[in-house]
Structures are given as structure tokens and as C-alpha cells.
Structure 1
Amino acid sequence: MSILHDYVNRIRIIDGHEHLATPQIRKRENHDLFSLLHYLDSDFYSAGMKQGVLGRQSSLAAEQKASMFMEYWHKTKNTTYARMFRTAMEDLYDVTDWNVKSLLEANEKVLQATHDPNWYEHVMAERSGIDLAFTLIQTTKLDYDRFRPIMFMDFAFKLRTLKDITAVERMSGVNVYHLRQYLDAVDALLHRYVQEGMVATKFGHAYWRSLASGKPTFHEAELAFNRLMGCTLEESLSQAETVALQDYLIHFIIQRSTAYGLPIQIHTGHHEVSVSNNGNTITNSNVELLIPLLLAYKDTKFVLLHSGYPYYLPYLSIVKNFQNVYADLTWLYIISPTAAKQILHQFIEMVPMTKIQGFGGDYNYIEGTYAHQKLARKVVGDVLTEKVAEGALDETEAMTFADRIFRLNLIDIYQLKDMEVQG
């Protein structure tokens, strides 16, 4: 191991993007080994397995699940998603053989860990070296000191039915009879989320529509809103009928988030199978579609997630040229460590180091986050060692870069207080 690998392995990470359930939720839902598949489940689906067949709602017994797991494991174990599952199971649960018997034994260990009050601290703080993680689980009530909330705001602009409006009305406590009152309701929610510790606003709309946003007038948005208000609970409008309203609300949420000092995290690029409901139309996620918004809001911090992969070449130009846009490596290492390595080389060559967010596990469970950070540290160590060898950086500069992307930049971008990030 090189000096740089050793240095990177000792950095206390601030994790910029997760979907981790709290310890209380995991215990209440009694998660077992088959709850921990997450991305591996997407590869199983790609290899032909029916979606959700191994999930918590499945009627299959544990032994049946283990048998089906092994059937698809042999088809997919070459992928990095599979490698991450292997790393987690072998490092954290001492799995040495991959067969039905060993899976069932590991399943019992996972169930025990789920009810162990010290498991999160052991995995997150001790084994992963993570001081703080931002997690998106659609609540600000996290009750775990190492978590800070980010909230998806898609629900506030994905309006297709009257029920969508009344849900925001109920959550905000603001009576809604017309569009201006609806804007007040959305603003009230944002204000409350900030008070409850939210560190950023998240848009995930590339999973269900294009990232492209027009700039409709209030009147154009109001026409669509009034049509929705006139619907019965059983009626709905199409995407085309509500796009002007959606676009208007996207602008409004950006404006109000900026006023509250919140960065905007936006999903760009690759889709995760289990949450994509637009047929995995990857072209909706092309980062170039965001340029009008990036130009319109120069005072807003935009964190464009996942390095835009596979649209990373225009992504590199955008983060290089736009002062208000921040690069992000969340998820990318496990999509393809080869791509992550190449993109990180180009980040170093093109993007100021203060604008790069180096790690977000993007997992639903902490075991996956553990495996992901282990891979991320290796990739970063490899790249920095190569950069030093070719003379692009000296060792001190490489160490400074690693500190920046894994920790210091996140303190700056999300305006974290010293008391929040102590190990």
C-alpha cells in the first residue's frame, strides 16, 4: 500500500448522499440479509429475475430465497454491485462460502445485527470511518447523531391529481384554494425542513420526466393548477397537461431553497432499476438539459449527482465552467470503478478541487455504504498515486486534494458547523 493509500484510508469521511434507514426503522422492519441487496437486486433483475421476488414483501421462505439468490448470483457475480455485496458479507459477517447453507447462516447474523443497538456505530463510525452522512428517506426525523436529512421535493411539483395537492396541504398545515396558497404551502414545508436540520434540497425528477425545464408564466401554471383543483379524487391529468405547472414549481423551489441557503442536489445520468418509473429513459437524465436552470440561478449551489454518467464529457465542461455547479462522485464507483477512475483523473485536470464532492454511498443499508467507501478510498488512492507518479501533483498536494473531496468541501458546500462534524 502506498503512502497516499494509507493517508486516504485514514480520512474521516463526510458522506454526501445516502438513502439509509435509521437504526429504529431497520429494527422495526426487521431487515434480514435479503433486505440488503439493493443494487445487486437490479443486476438480478437485469439477468432475468422477477423484480421484488426476494424483497421483504415476498411470500418465499428464507431457504427458497437463498436458493433463488444463488441461481442469480452465479449469473451476476462479475459486477461491481455483486462485488460490494460480497465485500460487505465477507468483511462484516465472516461469510467464507457462497452457498445456500452459508447464506442462511449469514441471514441469522444480519437479523441479530439489525437488533444490535451498537451496529450502526460499529459499521459507520468504526469500520467505515464516516463522521456524518446525509440521508434521504423522506423524513427529517432521523434520531441518529451521524445522520442529517436531505428531502426529495419531487412530491411538491409532481402534481397529477387532486390528492397530490391535498397531501402538500395536509403536510404543511396551509389551506390551499388557489396556486398562490399552494406556493405558501410549499414554502412552509421548506422552512420547516430547514428548522428540522435539512442540509439540501433534492430533485430526482430525471427518473420520471426530462431534466429540461421551461420558464412558464404564473398564468400558465395557474391554468393547470385550476384544472387539477377541479378534478375529482379519481381523475388525473397527463404529464403533458401539467408540465407547465411542474416547471413553474421547479423554479419556485429553487428560488426558495436558495433563500434558505440550501444547495440543490439533482440526479443526473444512470438510473437505478427499482425506482425508475419512466422505462429507464436515460436521455431524460442528460446533464446538458439543465444548462438553462444553471444559467438562471447563479447564486444557487447545484450539486449534480453521479458525475452525469454516462454523459460525463459534457458534465466535465459544465462543472469546469459554471461557478455555481459542483462535481459529485456519489454512486459512480460502484457503477463502474474504471469509469470513476477515468473521471476522477479528468476532474483533477479540469475542475478546481474545492468544487468536488468525493463520496456518497447512495445505499439503502449501512453494509453497502461500508463496502462502497472501501472501494472509493482505493480508487482515489490509485488515482492520486498515478498523478504523483506522472508529476501532476506532489504528495502534499495529493493529500490536500483527498481531504478536500472527502471532507472539507462538504463542510463548506453545506455550511456545516464544527460541532456537527466532530469524529
Structure 2
Amino acid sequence: MSIFHDYVNQIRIIDGHEHLATPQIRKNENHDLFSLLHYLDSDFHSAGMKLGALGRQNSISVEQKASIFMDYWHKTKNTTYARMFRTAMEDLYGLSEWNVKNLLETNEKVVQASHNPDWYEHVMAQKSGIDLAFTLIQTTKLEYERFRPIMFMDFTFKLRTLKDITTVERMAGVTVYHLSQYLDAVDTLLHKYVQEGMVATKFGHAYWRSLASGKPTFHEAELAFNRLMGCKLDEPLSQAETQALQDYLIHFIIQRSTAYGLPIQIHTGHHEVSVSSNGNTITNSNVELLIPLLLEYKDTNFVLLHSGYPYYLPYLSIVKNFQNVYADLTWVYIISPTAAKQILHGFIEMVPMTKIQGFGGDYNFIEGTYAHQKLARKVVADVLSEKVAESALDESEAMTFADRIFRTNLIDIYKLKGMEVQ
């Protein structure tokens, strides 16, 4: 190990993107090993397993689940998703030989950990070196000091049925008759979330429609809204019928988020099989489709998640040229450490270091976050060692870069008061 590995390993991380349940939720839901698969579930599905076959909703016995798991484990254990699961189970639970018997024993340990009030502190703070994590679980009531909320706002503009509107009405505590009132309801929710500690707005719409947004007029949006309000039997409208309304609302949410000083995180690139709802139409997620929005909202800070993978070459050009766009390595290390190294080399060569966010675990469970940060630290240290060896950076610059991407930049971008000296 180089001095850079030692240095990077001691940095206290600000984690810019997770989907971690709170300790209380995890305890209440009694999570076991088979409910912690997350990304590995996608690889199992790719290898032929039915989605959800090992999920908590499935009533088969744990012995049957362990047998199915081992069948697909042997088919997928080469992937980095599998490697992360292996790291988590072996480092945190002592799993050594991978067989049904040991898997069942580890399953019991996972259940015990889910009920251990100290488990999150042990894994997040002590083992992972994470001081703070932003988590997206569609609530601001996190009740864990190391979490800050980010809220998906897709539900406010993914309008296909009358029920979608009444959901926003209920959450905002208002009654809506006209589009202008609906806009007020969305703004009410944004204001409420900000008051409750939300640090950024999240758009995940590339999973269910294109990132491309037009610029419809209020009248065009209103026509679609009124048509939707007339669907009294809750018949759905098509994407084409609601496109103008969705696009108008996207613009509105960006404007109001900017007024509240919120950065906007946007999913770009790869669609995870376990959550995709549009048949994995990857072209919907091409980062180039966002250029009109990035040009229009120069006062808005956009964090484009996942380095746009696999569209990371145009992504590099965009984050280099747009002052209001921030580069992000959330998830990238675990899809491919090789690609992550290539992307990080590009960032160092092309993007000001103050614009790069170096880590987001993007996991549903803290064990995955632990494994991910361990890999991320190694990849970053490897790349910095290479850059110093080729005289692109000196040692001091490399260490400053690491501090920046793992901590300082996130404190600055998300205005994290009180985190500067920790």
C-alpha cells in the first residue's frame, strides 16, 4: 500500500447518496440476509432468477432461499456486485466458506444485527468512517444523527391518474381544483421538506421516461392537467398525453428548488434491473438530453449522478464546460472498478477538483455501504498513486484532491454547517 492508501483510508467521508432505511425501520421490518441483496439481486436476475424470488414477500423457507441463493451465487460471484456482498458478509459477519449451512448461520447473525441498537454506529461510523450520509427513502423523519434526507420529487410530476393528484393534495394538506393550486401544493411540500432538513431535490425520472424536457406553456400544461382532473374513474392517461404537464412541472420544481437554495440530483445512465420500470430503455438516461435544462438554469446547481455511465465521455465534457454542473461517482465503483478508474483519471485531467463528489454508496443496507466505501477508497488511492507517479500531481495535491472529493466539496455544495471541523 502507498502513502495515498493510508491517507485516503483515514478520511472521514460525507456520503452524498444512499437509500438506507433508518435503524428503527430496519428493526421493525426484521431484515435478514436475503433482504440485503440489493444489487446482487439484479445479477441473480440477469443469470436467470425470477425477480423477488428471495424477497421478504416470498413465503418459502430460509433453507429453500439459501439453496436458491447458492445456485445463483455460483453463476454470478465474478461480478463486483457479488464481490461487495462477499466483502460485507465476510468482514462484518465472519462468513468464510460459502455453503448453505454457513449462509443460514450468517442469516441469524444478520437478524440479530437488525435488532442491535448499536449496529449502525458500528458499521457507519467505526467501520466505514462515514460521518454523514444523505439517504432517499421518501421521508424526512430519519431520527438518526448521521442521516440527512433527500426527497424524490418524481411523484409530484409523474401524473397519469387522478389518484396521483390526490396523493399530492393529501401530503400538502390542501384541495386542488386548478393547475395553479397544484403548483402551490408542490411548493408547499418543497418548503416543508426544506424545513425538515432536506439537503437536495432528487429527480429519478430517467427510470420511467426520457431526461429530455420541452418548454411547454402554462396553457399547454393546463390542458393536460384539466384532462387528468376529468378522469373521475381513475383511468390512466398515456405518457404522450401528460408529457407537457410533466415537463412544465419539472421546470417549476427546478425553479422552486433553486429559490430554496437546493442542489438538484439527477439520475443519469445505467438502469438497475431491480428497480427499472421502463424495460431498461437506457437511451432515456443519456446525459446529453439534459443540456437544454443545464443551459436554461445557470443559477441552479445540478449534481449528475453516476457519472452518466455508460455515457461518461459526453458527461466529462458537460461537467467540464458547465459551471453549474457537478461530477459525481455515486455507485460507479461497484458497477466496474475498471471504468471507475478511467472516469476518475478523466475527472482529474478535465474537471476542477472543487466540482467532484467522490462517494455515494447508493445502497439499501449499511453493510453494502461499508463494502462500497472500502472499494472506493482503494480505487481513488490507486488512481492518485498513478497520477503522482506520472507527475500529473504532487503528493500534497493528491491528498488535497482526496479530501475534496470525499468531504470538503460536499460540505460546500450542500451547505453543511458545523461539519467543517469534524
TM-score where L is the length of structure 1: 0.99
**1:301 and 2:301 aligned:** yes
What's 2:37 paired with?
37
1:297-336, aligned counterparts within 5 Å? 297-336=297-336
Tell me the amino acid that sits aligned with residue 136 of structure 1.
Answer: L
Tell me the amino acid that sits aligned with residue 146 of structure 2.
Answer: R
- Write out per-residue CA displacement over residues 138-167 of structure 1, whole angstroms, 9 at most, x where no aligned residue: 000000000000000000000000000000
What's 2:122 paired with?
122
**1:133 and 2:103 aligned:** no
What's 1:9 paired with?
9
Q: How far off is 1:302 after superposition?
A: 0.2
1:375-394, aligned counterparts within 5 Å? 375-394=375-394
Tell me the amino acid that sits aligned with residue 174 of structure 2.
Answer: V
How far apart, CA to CA, are the structure 1 residues paired with 2:306 and 2:332?
6
What's 1:344 paired with?
344
Tell me the amino acid that sits aligned with residue 144 of structure 1.
Answer: Y
What's 1:362 paired with?
362
Indicate the RMSD between aligned Cα atoms, in angstroms: 0.7
What's 2:261 paired with?
261
The answer to whether the 8 A contact 1:15-1:130 is kept is yes
Residues 422/43 of structure 1: CA separation in 2 closer, same or farther (3 Å cut): farther
- Write out per-residue CA displacement over residues 62-119 of structure 1, whole angstroms, 9 at most, x where no aligned residue: 0000000000000000000000000000000000110000000000000000000000
The answer to whether the 8 A contact 2:408-2:420 is kept is no
Q: How far off is 1:422 after superposition?
A: 6.3
May I ask how many residue pairs the two structures share in their alignment?
422
How far apart, CA to CA, are the structure 1 residues paired with 2:181 and 2:421?
41
The answer to whether the 8 A contact 1:131-1:421 is kept is no
How far apart, CA to CA, are the structure 1 residues paired with 2:164 and 2:421?
40
Tell me the amino acid that sits aligned with residue 34 of structure 1.
Answer: F
What's 2:64 paired with?
64
Q: How far off is 1:174 after superposition?
A: 1.9
The answer to whether the 8 A contact 1:132-1:421 is kept is no
How far apart, CA to CA, are the structure 2 residues paired with 1:421 and 1:393?
25
Q: How far off is 1:233 after superposition?
A: 3.5
After TM superposition, the structure 1 stretch with the greater mean CA deviation from structure 2, 271-280 or 316-325, is 271-280
How far apart, CA to CA, are the structure 2 residues paired with 1:255 and 1:395?
42
The answer to whether the 8 A contact 2:16-2:357 is kept is yes
The answer to whether the 8 A contact 1:334-1:372 is kept is yes
Q: How far off is 1:234 after superposition?
A: 2.9
1:3-402, aligned counterparts within 5 Å? 3-402=3-402
What's 2:407 paired with?
407
How far apart, CA to CA, are the structure 1 residues paired with 2:87 and 2:421?
28
How far apart, CA to CA, are the structure 2 residues paired with 1:405 and 1:45?
33
Tell me the amino acid that sits aligned with residue 408 of structure 1.
Answer: T
Tell me the amino acid that sits aligned with residue 326 of structure 1.
Answer: Y
How far apart, CA to CA, are the structure 2 residues paired with 1:21 and 1:376?
22
How far apart, CA to CA, are the structure 2 residues paired with 1:422 and 1:115?
32
Q: How far off is 1:40 after superposition?
A: 0.2
Identity of aligned residues (%): 87
The answer to whether the 8 A contact 1:161-1:233 is kept is no
The answer to whether the 8 A contact 1:212-1:289 is kept is yes
Q: How far off is 1:371 after superposition?
A: 0.1
Residues 421/164 of structure 1: CA separation in 2 closer, same or farther (3 Å cut): farther
Residues 78/364 of structure 1: CA separation in 2 closer, same or farther (3 Å cut): same
Tell me the amino acid that sits aligned with residue 111 of structure 2.
Answer: L
TM-score where L is the length of structure 2: 0.99
Structure 1 residues without counterparts, runs of 5 or longer: none
How far apart, CA to CA, are the structure 1 residues paired with 2:270 and 2:9?
28
How far apart, CA to CA, are the structure 1 residues paired with 2:200 and 2:178?
28
| Residue aligned with 1:253, SS | helix
| Residue aligned with 2:55, SS | coil
How far apart, CA to CA, are the structure 2 residues paired with 1:134 and 1:103?
31
How far apart, CA to CA, are the structure 1 residues paired with 2:215 and 2:306?
26
| Residue aligned with 1:275, SS | coil
| Residue aligned with 1:266, SS | strand
